[in-house]
Amino acid sequence: MRYTAKKIGTLVLTMVLVSLFVFLAFSLLSGDAATRMLGTEATPERLEALRAELGLDKPMGVRYVKWLGALLRGDMGTSYQYRLPVAQLIGERLRPTLTLTLMAFALIVVVSIPLGVVTAKYAGGFLDRTSTVLGQFLMSVPPFFTGILFTYIFGLVLHTFVPGAFPQWEDGAGRYFGYLFFPALSIALPRIAMTVRMLHGCILDEAQKDYVRTSMSRGRSRGNILYVHVLKNTLVPLVTFLAMTMAELVAGSVIIEQVFSVPGVGRLLISGIANRDAPVVQAVVTLVSFWVVVCNLAGDLIGRRIDPRLRTGEGGRS
């Protein structure tokens, strides 16, 4: 119980710090938000009026608390550039981003777990060495470059999809997922390489332990030990790693959405930053930090469910 409380405390701190950081950063700029909206030729009176309307005339602390309070009630403010509620702007763009992230995550899990296990089982063999070299290479390719390559090969040469023409959900699930497959694969590839390497290392470390030798001496087969004991013990670090991956995929999505013209939250964030649209950026970044926190917490709780040993720490109670 105490552990969970402490964990949640750290996570709440993450969200508060991130939101405070973004808020402070944008408060330093937003003085001229009114100027930007009205143009430099606006009269001082009109500027003052708009600042008052946006709440920019109040001290920063007051604004932060007010903003936080509104956010907790679900009110994210109004975008400077679109003049629309931020909640609505985000809501309209959430589906492609979530789909993209989840598809990438599914690809990572489906490809890297079997590959990690197989390369560890035949460590030092041809497959292992090939995957090490290939992995090192894949980790060096920026996802947005992979995205450009895919656009060229599958979009312009093979015509598998039409670059830039993002199909709506209503156009049919096949086309929707078909389009999002390429950006998802682009951000998944380097992560697959990382996950394989991580799992591979974990399994080999675990295989060095005494209980593996004991089991061997009792005549159990290598495969049996690997699948029954070793894998079970690598599950917890794997889950933690995957949770972190899930959290970081959002950052990858921000970039790849730009490459494939996916109308998602990432593009909203970029246009918000480019136009210094403080309410949009604050809301999106805070939302991302919430996502990060939830992923980490979920990874942690699942890990503790899998491995009872983690639950007995901290004074033996939980």
Partner 1 sequence: MKKHSHFLIAGLVLSALVFAFIILGWFWTPFDPMKMNGAVRESAPSLEHLMGTDKFGRDILSRVMKGSGFTLFVALGTVLIGTVAGTVIGALTGYFGGWLDEALMRIGDALSAFPSFLMALVLVSVFGAGRNHLLLALGIVFIPSYARIVRTEFARARNQNYVKSAKLMGASTARILFIHILPNIWPVLLSAITIGFNNAVLAEAAMSYLGIGVSPDEASLGYMLSDSQSYLAVTPWYALGSGLVIILLILGVGLIGEGLKRRDL
DSSP character at residue 160: S
Q: Which of 143, 132, 164 is nearest to 101 (CA)?
A: 143
At its nearest, how many Å lie between partner 1 and the CB of residue 28? 6
Binding to partner 1 in span 152-181, by CB under 8 A? 152, 156, 163
At its nearest, how many Å lie between partner 1 and the CB of residue 134? 12
Report yes or no: 104 and 188 within 8 Å, Cβ to Cβ: yes
At its nearest, how many Å lie between partner 1 and the CB of residue 15? 8
Nearer to partner 1, 71 or 225 (CB): 71
At its nearest, how many Å lie between partner 1 and the CB of residue 143? 8
- For residue 49 the two structure tokens come to 């009026």
At its nearest, how many Å lie between partner 1 and the CB of residue 101? 12
At its nearest, how many Å lie between partner 1 and the CB of residue 223? 26
Q: Could you tell me which stretch among 8-16, 56-64, 81-89, 102-110 binds partner 1 (CB under 8 A)?
A: 8-16
Binding to partner 1 in span 259-288, by CB under 8 A? 259, 269-270, 273-274, 276, 281, 285, 288
Distance between CA 139 and CA 150 in Å, rounded?
Answer: 17
At its nearest, how many Å lie between partner 1 and the CB of residue 259? 7
Binding to partner 1 in span 28-57, by CB under 8 A? 28-29
Report yes or no: 34 and 47 within 8 Å, Cβ to Cβ: yes
Nearer to partner 1, 130 or 312 (CB): 130
Residue from the set 71, 108, 250, 268 that interacts with partner 1 by CB under 8 A:
250
Report yes or no: 185 and 107 within 8 Å, Cβ to Cβ: yes
At its nearest, how many Å lie between partner 1 and the CB of residue 206? 16
Distance between CA 151 and CA 153 in Å, rounded?
Answer: 6
- For residue 39 the two structure tokens come to 């143009």
Sign of the Cα pseudo-torsion (265, 268, 273, 279, in order): negative
Q: Could you tell me which stretch among 68-76, 145-153, 232-240, 300-308 binds partner 1 (CB under 8 A)?
A: 145-153
Could you give the string, one character per residue 296-315, with x where binding to partner 1 holds by CB under 8 A and - elsewhere?
A: x-------------------
Task: Determine if 148 is a binding residue for partner 1 (CB under 8 A).
Answer: yes
Nearer to partner 1, 99 or 253 (CB): 253
Residue from the set 107, 111, 247, 283 that interacts with partner 1 by CB under 8 A:
247
Report yes or no: 297 and 7 within 8 Å, Cβ to Cβ: yes
Distance from chain centroid for Cα 167: 23
Q: Could you tell me which stretch among 9-17, 44-52, 91-99, 223-231 binds partner 1 (CB under 8 A)?
A: 9-17
Q: Could you tell me which stretch among 18-26, 43-51, 165-173, 309-317 binds partner 1 (CB under 8 A)?
A: 18-26
- For residue 174 the two structure tokens come to 């096949």
- Counting beta carbons within 10 angstroms of the beta carbon of residue 12, is it exposed (0 to 12), middle (13 to 18) or buried (19 or more)? exposed
Q: Which of 36, 132, 64, 96 is nearest to 262 (CA)?
A: 96
Which own/partner pairs from 144-151 qualify as long-range (CB within 8 Å, at least 24 positions apart)? 144/186, 144/255, 144/256, 144/258, 144/259, 146/185, 146/186, 146/189, 147/182, 147/183, 147/186, 147/256, 147/259, 147/260, 148/259, 150/182, 150/185, 150/186, 151/182, 151/259, 151/260
Using CB under 8 A as the criterion, which residues of the chain lie in contact with partner 1 when the complex forms?
10-11, 13-14, 17-18, 21-22, 25-26, 28-29, 136-137, 139-142, 144-145, 148-149, 151-152, 156, 163, 247-248, 250-251, 254-255, 258-259, 269-270, 273-274, 276, 281, 285, 288-289, 292-293, 296
